[in-house]
């Protein structure tokens, strides 16, 4: 009997499967993964696993879970097409799998450097990547990391911490330019430099050779080159099946794509958010949207009304000894105000738009992050005056408003 | 080796032997302990690995700042013994520990 087929077994795909099983003990669930590993946590790959070969892979669910939960997990299984007319997917071995509901959770694929020798730069995306990269990183002396986003900074800081000479090559004026408030990006850049990281801003990569990286600022010698220049939605399957796409597969607030009975979830999905469209690469999104889509599939199967996905985004990044935590969706155009009480290594920045708190970035201030998350989840207007009236204590403000 | 016992919400117990530096959330997932999700992968960013500590033989380090904040703000009625088990690490001087899975 046809059931629910999930393409992709990252955080989002596994969350859909596990949530479905919690809500419906009997629905047939098939979970397809192109990878050969039992589904695992990705964030630790760039934060710790790649620096320590002794660290085991962290599984999303226990090895025996899928069998026990009667979820048909198929590893090494690639989908070659989605056939909406006959409600099936075709697998690489030619087999057809029928579905009643299909979930596309194909995530992203890393961007490759479009320069001569670009293929020499290694990436950190899958467990297979770090199995190759880990030993090379241990034996390398000078590592060049290309890209000043979260992944690039995490790898550069981690490599520095295990005693490597590290150059971080960034096209923009500071690290994390697109991700956090400017003052936080500047602070992180300064703190990494103080630790001895060679950060080159305004640096364009022109070519990669066996000896290092050719840039607009000269040659950077390196015996290992790693790139972290972002990812793009992995949506060829959806495009070939004529689903509507933009930067991701377009879904409505219920996770439904342009074709009936087909959902998309996690990094690959672009969903309505605050009057705009948003594609998020985060654990929060994979987990919360996964749970939402699972509930909406159950609703569809029982002819009930779906529920909208209304997330409060949050993110984190571990960079050496720095812990960055972001609540809400920050914006470079927002007004950025720093909460008093910061020290050189601690910072809380509030993003204000039209006088209202939209996001809060913190550096090594976990209590403020959590309070900000709780405040944003209340979806009430929070102004700077309200924060000031609570002596800039976000937790106090939350407890007052709760 | 440290003996770790999880009591699940239905009262049944799972006991495992653990190595140094392993945290209890990972052990729970690997051994199929019901009720432990570990959504953030042990980064102390969520509250889906909440347990109460029933018994400790040896030494157990207390919770850090972030863990205390999560217990205070994410969990409705934290117990005096509440912990996030991704922050409980097995160590040489921890001989045995028993925990009960709590609502996240």
**pLDDT band at A238; cut points 50, 70, 90:** very high
Distance from C-alpha of A97 to C-alpha of A30, rounded to nearest angstrom: 9
Measured between CB atoms, which of B32, B43, B66 is closest to A64?
A: B32
Distance to chain A for B38, nearest Cα, Å? 8
Contacts B42 to A, Cβ<8 Å: 41, 44, 58
How many CB pairs (< 8 A) connect A and B? 53
Q: What is the pLDDT of residue B40?
A: 80
Q: A112-227, which class in CATH? A: alpha beta
> Under 8 Å CB-to-CB from A169, ≥6 apart: which residues?
A144, A145, A146, A147, A148, A200, A203, A205, A213, A215, A220
Of A58, A65, A398, the CB nearest to B42: A58
Q: Which of A62, A314, A318 sits opposite B32 (nearest CB)?
A: A62
* pLDDT at residue A380 is higher than 80: yes
Confidence band for A57, pLDDT divided at 50, 70 and 90: confident
Contact criterion met (CB below 8 Å) for A301 and A295: no
Q: Which residues of A touch B31 (CB under 8 A)?
A: 62
Mark out the alpha helices in B3-101 (DSSP H runs).
Answer: 24-30, 65-74
Band of residue A373 on the pLDDT scale cut at 50, 70, 90: very high
Taking 80 as the threshold, does the pLDDT of residue A1 lie above it?
A: no
What six digits make up the tokens of A314?
């949050």
CATH class held by domain A3-50+57-109+231-301: alpha beta
| Whether A127 contacts chain B with CB within 8 A | no
Q: CA of A38, closest CA in chain B: separation in Å?
A: 12
Question: What was the pLDDT predicted at B31?
Answer: 82
pLDDT in tens, A152-192: 999 999 999 999 999 999 999 999 999 999 999 999 999 99
C-alpha distance from A178 to closest chain B C-alpha (Å):
22
ipTM of the complex: 0.75
Region A28-41: what's the mean pLDDT? 96
3-state secondary structure chain A: CCEEEEECCCHHHHHHHHHHHHHCCCCCEEEECCCCCCCECCHHHHHCHHHCCCCCCCECCCCCHHHHCCEEEECCCCEEEEEHHHCEEEECCCCEEEEEEEEECCCEEECCCCCCCHHHCECCCCHHHHHHHHHHHHHCCEEEEECCCHHHHHHHHHHHHCCCEEEEECCCCCCCCCCCCHHHHHHHHHHHHHCCCEEECCCCEEEECCCEEEECCEEEECCEEEECCCEEECCHHHHHCCCCECCCEECCCCCECCCCCEEECHHHEEEEECCEEEECCCHHHHHHHHHHHHHHHHHHHCCCCCCCCCCCCEEEEEECCEEEEEEECCCCCCEEEECCCCECCEEEEEEEECCEEEEEEEECCHHHHHHHHHHHHCCCCCEHHHHHHCCCCHHHHHHHHC
Q: What is the mean pLDDT of residues A256-266?
A: 98
Nearest to B41 among A44, A68, A398 (CB): A44
CA dist B69 and B53 (Å) reads 18
pLDDT at A53 over 80: no
Of B39, B43, B73, the CB nearest to A370: B73
The CATH class of A321-401 is alpha beta
- Overall average pLDDT of the A282-292 stretch: 94
- In the predicted model, what is the mean pLDDT of residues A71-100? 98
Give the domain CATH number at B19: 3.10.20.30
Q: Which two tokens stand for residue A169?
A: 């090559």
Residue A71 has pLDDT above 80, yes or no: yes
Supply the pLDDT for residue B47. Answer: 83
Task: Residue A325: list chain B partners with CB under 8 A.
Answer: 45
In the numeric block, the tokens 């949506």 are attached to A235
Contacts of B11 (CB under 8 A, 6+ apart): none
Among residues A330, A355, A398, A288, the alpha carbon closest in space to that of A179 is found at: A330
- Closest CA–CA distance from residue A18 to any residue of chain B (Å): 10
In CATH terms, are A3-50+57-109+231-301 and A321-401 the same topology? no
DSSP B100: E
- Per domain, the residue ranges of chain A are 3-50+57-109+231-301, 112-227, 321-401
**Distance, in angstroms, between B49 CA and closest chain A CA?**
13
Task: List chain B pLDDT tens, one digit each, 104 residues.
Answer: 899 999 998 899 999 999 888 899 988 987 878 888 887 878 788 888 999 999 999 999 999 888 998 898 888 788 999 999 999 999 999 999 999 999 76
What's the structural domain count of chain B?
1
Chain B residues in contact with A288 (beta carbon < 8 A): none
- Locate A9 and state its tokens: 């077994």
What per-residue confidence (pLDDT) applies to B104?
66
Q: How far apart are the first and last CA of chain A?
A: 48
Assess whether pLDDT exceeds 70 at residue A398: yes
Residues 6+ away with beta carbon under 8 Å from A46 = A124, A151, A154, A155, A158, A228
The predicted structure's pLDDT at residue A103: 98
CB contact under 8 A, A61 and B29: yes
Lowest mean pLDDT: which of A14-23, A323-332, B22-31? Answer: B22-31
**Kind and range of the H or E element at B14?**
strand B13-18
Q: Do B69 and A325 touch (CB under 8 A)?
A: no
| Beta-carbon separation of A68 and B32 below 8 A | yes
Range of the domain at B48: 2-101
pLDDT score for A40: 93
Going by the DSSP 8-state scheme, the letter that residue B48 receives in this structure is T
Q: Which residues of A touch B30 (CB under 8 A)?
A: 59, 62-63
Question: Residue A367 pLDDT > 90, yes or no?
Answer: no
- A200 near A220, Cβ under 8 Å? yes
């Amino acid at each position: 009997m046809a059931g629910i087929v999930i393409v992709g077994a990252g955080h989002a795909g596994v969350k859909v499967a596990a949530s479905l099983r919690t809500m419906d003990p009997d629905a047939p669930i098939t979970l397809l993964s192109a990878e050969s590993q039992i589904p695992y946590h990705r964030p630790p790959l760039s934060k710790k696993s790649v620096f320590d070969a002794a660290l085991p892979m962290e599984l999303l669910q226990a090895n025996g879970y899928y069998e026990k939960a009667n979820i048909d997990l198929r590893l090494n299984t690639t989908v070659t097409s989605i056939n909406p007319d006959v409600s099936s997917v075709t697998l690489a071995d030619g087999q057809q799998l029928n579905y009643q509901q299909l979930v596309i959770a194909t995530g992203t694929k890393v961007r490759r450097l479009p320069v001569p020798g670009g293929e020499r730069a290694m990436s950190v995306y899958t467990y297979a990547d770090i199995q190759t990269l880990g030993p090379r990183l241990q034996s390398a002396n000078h590592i060049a990391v290309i890209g000043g986003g979260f992944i690039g900074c995490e790898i550069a800081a981690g490599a520095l911490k295990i005693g490597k000479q590290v150059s971080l090559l960034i096209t923009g004026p500071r690290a994390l330019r697109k991700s956090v408030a400017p003052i936080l990006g500047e602070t992180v850049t300064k703190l990494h430099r103080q630790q001895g990281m060679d950060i080159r801003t305004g640096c364009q990569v022109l070519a990669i050779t066996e000896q290092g990286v050719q840039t607009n600022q000269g040659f950077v010698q390196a015996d290992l080159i790693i790139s972290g220049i972002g990812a793009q939605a992995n949506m060829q399957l959806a495009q070939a099946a004529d689903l509507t796409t933009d930067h991701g597969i377009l879904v409505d607030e219920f996770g439904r794509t342009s074709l009936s009975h087909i959902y998309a979830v996690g990094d690959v999905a672009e969903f309505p958010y605050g009057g705009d469209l948003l594609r998020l690469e985060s654990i929060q999104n994979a987990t919360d949207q996964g749970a939402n889509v699972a509930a909406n599939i159950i609703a569809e199967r029982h002819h009930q009304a779906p529920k909208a996905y209304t997330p409060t985004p949050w993110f984190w990044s571990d960079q050496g000894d720095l812990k960055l935590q972001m609540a809400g969706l920050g914006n470079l155009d927002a007004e950025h105000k720093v909460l008093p009480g910061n020290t050189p290594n601690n910072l809380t920045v509030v993003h204000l738009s039209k006088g209202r708190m939209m996001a809060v970035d913190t550096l090594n201030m976990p209590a403020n992050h959590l309070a900000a998350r709780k405040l944003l989840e209340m979806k009430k207007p929070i102004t700077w005056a309200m924060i000031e009236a609570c002596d800039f204590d976000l937790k106090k403000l939350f407890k007052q408003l709760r | 080796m440290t003996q770790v016992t999880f009591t699940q919400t239905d009262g049944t117990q799972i006991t495992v032997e653990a190595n140094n530096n392993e945290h209890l959330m990972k052990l729970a997932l690997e051994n199929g302990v019901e009720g432990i999700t570990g959504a953030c992968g042990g980064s102390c960013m969520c509250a889906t690995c909440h347990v109460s500590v029933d018994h400790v033989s040896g030494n157990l380090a207390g919770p850090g700042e972030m863990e205390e904040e999560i217990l205070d703000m994410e969990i409705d009625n934290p117990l005096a013994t509440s912990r996030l088990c991704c922050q409980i690490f097995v160590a040489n001087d921890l001989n045995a520990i028993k925990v009960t899975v709590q609502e996240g």
